[in-house]
Structure 1
Amino acid sequence: MKDSEFIAKIAPYAVEDMQRSRIAASLTIAQAALESAWGSSGLTVKANNLFGIKGSGPAGSVTMQTTEYVRGKAVQVPAAFRAYHNWGQSVADHSALITGGVSWNRGLYSRAIGTDGRTAAREIAAAGYATDPNYAAKLIRIMDDYNLYQYDEMKEDEEMSAEDKQRLLSLENELKEMRTLISGLSVSRDTLKTGVQEQGQSIKNIAERLVDIEGRAEMKVPAWAEPAVNAAVAAGLLDTPDGGSYDFYRLITVLYRAGLLVTE
């Protein structure tokens, strides 16, 4: 795979993920290129694993030889690595690691979030993501050589009309009110589900309002929204899963995680 082909394939996943995680797309692309040898590593070819994350993933796991140090000596040992159905799932898992940190320090990589690609590269290296002392320099070299910073530029507002901006603002206000309401609920889950079923039409109306702005950012169902979309379909609140906007899938996910999407 040519470098340009690799970037063209991963960039949409990195940009979409950046809107949710606030991790610079340039960092995600550069790390994926470096860790996967531009998509040619055996782990990437066999399991769509771009970042060498171990364990079991959405598509199970694959066993590969890896270098470990035993009593100071490098030895080759078999290890299970996460397998994914596509690169998007691998990117999402990588971002979950950056945003969630490790068990002993959840904020380990927090300084790499919400900043530009160069700064993020230096911060993630300083936090110990890799043992290579030149890790940050290698990432920045890739960013510079391929101008990956262009993928960090959010042009969504420039493409939105004033009317759409107002609609989006109204939607965000509604979501804030909904989050406040959900956080203050003290009734049992069963009572909550009963109330939602009785007020199902109100939730449908909120979903229908999103149709007005779907045209500006239609997309396939993101991997992180699939459980929520499936629940919405099962509850009879959604007829056509694909073709929604990022905000649409975000709202559906908020409702799902709050336990509001129930099947009658």
Structure 2
Amino acid sequence: MKPLEFIARLAPIAVQDMRKYGVPASLTLAQAILESNWGTSGLTQKANNLFGIKGTGPAGSVTMQTTEYRGQTPYTTNAQFRKYNSWSESVADHTRLILNGTRDKPMRYHGVLWADYKTAATEIWKGGYATDPNYPKKLISLMEQNALHQYDVPSPEEEEGMKIEQLTAELQKTQEQVRQLNEQYASALKMLTEQSNTMKQMNSRLKDIESGKSAKVPSWAEPAIQAAQQAEVLNDPEGSFDFYRIMTVLHRVGVFNNESK
């Protein structure tokens, strides 16, 4: 299969998965090209396995020879690889692997999600997808030589839709901020009003204290003042609040009653 034919066949599948799950189409295409040798590898021909994923697939498995690395040293070994019924099935399984990772590290490949093509190529290797130390360079080279990163860019219609969604989200965020500011303003205004009323009351009280007189006898002090007047110990009932408190205390302990006897 010619390179352009391979890309034309696989790109729509890769782009569809990118829109749903965030796996860059450029990464899917580059890995498929590298792992399947443009769809000509024995694994792809026998098992529709584009990505060299090991294990048992929907259509079973096949045993193939593969090259692994210990550090910089390559070695050949046999391994069991997944078998698929179609390329679409292979791409879907590749996406699931990136999304779900492995049992011990479910997020090991999440660094590639919605990433630019260079970051995605590096993160897939860091996650342990391949042991080849040159794996990221090989992927990036394929991406740039074949302009695969163009498939990561949304269409004009999609881009416009994304802009509208972004503006809508920003507007909603601004509206929420304005609502919160209005609430804070109303709360601050209420607090200032309460503080102003308190200050007025304090000023009025201070004026009474400074004058040393109360405008009138408080209702709670009237019994004490009346008792003091009846006992003929008080002529002028006007006084300060402190005076009224003292007179009330004296009345409650019976001082004025004794005076009247």
Partner residue in 2 for 1:60: 60
Q: Note the residue ranges of structure 2 that are not aligned, 5 or more in a row.
A: 169-261
| 1:27 matched to 2:27 | yes
| 1:97 matched to 2:97 | yes
Deviations 1:128-167 (A, max 9, x none): 221111111111111101111111112243587xxxx99x
Partner residue in 2 for 1:195: none
Partner residue in 2 for 1:87: 87
Larger relative helix fraction: 2
| Superposition map of 1:104-253 within 5 A | 104-155=104-155, 156-157=157-158
Kindly tell me: are residues 105 and 75 of structure 1, through their superposed partners in 2, closer, same or farther at Cα, counting changes over 3 Å? Answer: same
One-letter identity of the residue aligned with 2:111: R
* Identity, % of aligned positions: 56
One-letter identity of the residue aligned with 1:122: T
Cα distance in 2, alignment partners of residues 131 and 3 from structure 1: 25
SS in structure 1 at match of 2:65: strand
Q: Give yes or no for contact 2:67–2:74 (8 Å, CA) kept in 1.
A: no
Q: Give yes or no for contact 2:26–2:117 (8 Å, CA) kept in 1.
A: yes
Kindly tell me: are residues 83 and 10 of structure 1, through their superposed partners in 2, closer, same or farther at Cα, counting changes over 3 Å? Answer: same
Kindly tell me: are residues 24 and 63 of structure 1, through their superposed partners in 2, closer, same or farther at Cα, counting changes over 3 Å? Answer: same
Measure how far apart 1:125 and its partner are: 1.8
Farther-moved stretch of structure 1 (18-27 vs 124-133):
124-133
Moved over 4 A (4+): 67-70, 72-75
Q: Give yes or no for contact 2:26–2:148 (8 Å, CA) kept in 1.
A: yes
Cα distance in 1, alignment partners of residues 22 and 32 from structure 2: 17
| RMSD over equivalenced CA pairs, Å | 2.8
Measure how far apart 1:64 and its partner are: 2.2
SS in structure 1 at match of 2:99: helix
Cα distance in 2, alignment partners of residues 123 and 75 from structure 1: 25
Q: Give yes or no for contact 2:24–2:113 (8 Å, CA) kept in 1.
A: yes
Deviations 1:221-255 (A, max 9, x none): xxxxxxxxxxxxxxxxxxxxxxxxxxxxxxxxxxx
SS in structure 1 at match of 2:138: helix
Between structure 1 and structure 2, the one with the greater Rg is: 2
Measure how far apart 1:73 and its partner are: 9.6
One-letter identity of the residue aligned with 1:157: E
Farther-moved stretch of structure 1 (50-59 vs 9-18):
50-59
SS in structure 1 at match of 2:123: helix
SS in structure 1 at match of 2:150: helix
Q: Note the residue ranges of structure 1 that are not aligned, 5 or more in a row.
A: 170-264
Cα distance in 1, alignment partners of residues 76 and 35 from structure 2: 20
Measure how far apart 1:126 and its partner are: 2.3
Cα distance in 2, alignment partners of residues 42 and 151 from structure 1: 27
Kindly tell me: are residues 62 and 118 of structure 1, through their superposed partners in 2, closer, same or farther at Cα, counting changes over 3 Å? Answer: same
